[in-house]
Structure 1
Amino acid sequence: MHVDENLNRHLLHQREEQVQHLEYNLEYQFYHAVASGDLEQVQKYYLPEDDISIYEGAACGRLSKDVLQNARYHFVVAVALITRICVEHGLERETAYTLSDVFIQEMDQAVSISEITALHNQMVTEFARRMQRQQKQRAYSIHLVKAISYISAHLHEKISTKEIADALSLNRSYLSTLFHREMGISLHAYIRSQKIQAAAQMLLTSDLGLSEISALYGFSSQSQFSQCFRQEIGETPFQYRKHHFQSSAVSE
């Protein structure tokens, strides 16, 4: 492979066609918006889902002569850059890279450019939302941040206030009071909400049955899971999967 020869040929073609990649300043504004959790600004950079010609020209960079493959390559590049930037700005590494894997696997199943652009918009929104929550957590006390981190790492278990307090070497009553004061909800309600949100994502990204997901997140029964899910989401798990599975890879 003659790298210099190919590079010069592509640069000449771009000059002849007056083609340029996205200006650095615009790229910076976009990635900064995602990393800072600015959802309003991120939405301004959404790709037009009904414009199937977005990857046909060379303006975005031609990584493949096949338009659909070109869209796939650009999606992988985008999610890789966003993942790295978000990790550098404080997003938990394992969460970030696992989320990246989820989106790439979903993209691999897409059969049209419109599906890929829609998934791209969902992807940047999901990362921005997580960064927004990350920004809010920084204002919390160190004990609360550690409690939230513990809950995140043990969602697949039955978590009690005592277990968290013991893990953090805190008084159980003090932890409950602190959590409610800073979060505005009880520790128990937060744990349940986080389990339901994780279960909702599992409903959209796996083919596991409801009973399996219920057991995975430590609910005592499928009926308890369904009841809690409806209280949190507004739909039963079955309704949620039926209504959203085809249009969303990761819950928004």
Structure 2
Amino acid sequence: MPYKILIVDDERMARDGLRMMVNTLKEWVWAGEATNGVTALEKIKLHKPDLILLDIRMPEMDGLSLLGKIREMGLDTLVVFLTGHPDFEYAQKAIRYGAFDYLLKPMRAPDIIEIIKKAEIHLDEASHVKQEYEESLRMAKDYERELLERNMREVIYGGRLDELSISNLSMFSDCDRLAVASILLDSYNNSLRGPCENILRNELQMEYASPFLVLQDGLSEWTILLGERSVRTPSIELNQLFDKIGLELCAAGIVNWRIGIGQKIQFAQASKSYEQSKFAAYFASTDKKIVFYEKLTDTDATLLLIPIDLEYAIIQHVREGNPDEAIRVFDKVADHYSKMTIRELEKHAVHFLIQLQNGNERLDDGNTLLDYVVDGDSENISTIIMRLRQVVKDYAERTRSYLNIQMNHVIQRVIRIIHEKYAANIKLGEIAEVLGVNPSYLSTLFKQETGVSFSDYLSRYRIERAKLFLKEANLKIYEVAQRVGYTDGRHFSQMFRRSQGLTPLEYRNRNGIFTEHDELINE
């Protein structure tokens, strides 16, 4: 983008000459002119020029006064003073006050060009430094966020809190209690994930006064950590909060969801609340979409007939596509089934299979699991248990196949985007937003599926494309760099050498391609 220049001088001939000169410069555009400091100030507010050529001696407001006003506005615009010999000491004083440079009148064209070029170099360097600074801040923020997410996952997945630095728990460091909520979409739909997560974050931001964190916990599941400080801050009650979230989800056309909320618990035992939230969510239904763990057994006495935590574990393993673990836990529950009457077991089997099917609606093929087990003509308890066991195994295996397909589908889309847009400044976070996936989750998934990180895969693909372009003799090396997404020729050459053991020029020569126009500076 061209830089903007403003001329402030009460001599018309000087303004005309400078304007004509600026119009010949490729990297500069004319932002206007002014005859005094007062008029100039209005134009500066409007156009925010990058460089001002400013006469020191002017009516109404002189150059130094205008420079003071510019700095008061918080602008870092470069100012070059135009002065005659009698004002030489005055100009030097202006430099100490923050002017970029000065030009002595009468001005020669080469001197003007030189100082504008000097300003251009300064602005280029400042822009580069600013970009690097902003990128560093973004990376630091992303790293802090990822560190927090990783540590909080460690906490809720059962890691020992004393192994973590309390400073790495960031916003939760002053919370002594924590409740965990689980949100599940029963029907997998990639287009709904982004809107769903946005609703969760927006409602929490508006309604919940204490610290919170939203974590993606699978392709269509989220975990919300709700902190509570020792000094209680006024905040919405959890039942009201999730009622509001539920209404917003439905208003957005997201209807196949369930929410389970664990108990508020000591921070060091957060994994227990996490398990409770998952457990409660599996027992939600179309009639009761939001379930609090602490109220679960109060409202459904049939759950006390057997260890429901084991049945929950079975459903969890089925949803994860882990048939071996599902069967291992089922065999423990089977001992309890065997002590029931046929009528009790048939009734409980219906309840269990409804929960299993509700938790796996993404596999809906038109059949009901009840058809496989409860046929109204069961001979004995062993037959029902055997059929239940087979259903659990089959369903877990089908889920595993389904998840593999979905996982591969997400990563294939990422790879397709890389292959299509490798020449652009693409970032994993932007791709994750397009796909409706949490960036840290997508990063982990990408490495699991491909064996390399996103950035390594992108770099390798760019180098492979560069090798093809380097065989086209009409392309300069810096042009090849630009075609594969590198704006800096030197950086491209360094990356190419690191990957191939050769510089781009050496690679060309080895392949019998000799050109006269490749610049050695790019090597």
More helix by share: 1
- TM bucket (normalised to shorter chain) is 0.3 to 0.5
The normalised TM-score by structure 1 is 0.41
More strand by share: 2
Comparing both chains, which one has the higher relative contact order based on Cα–Cα distances under 8 Å and sequence gaps of 6 or more? 1
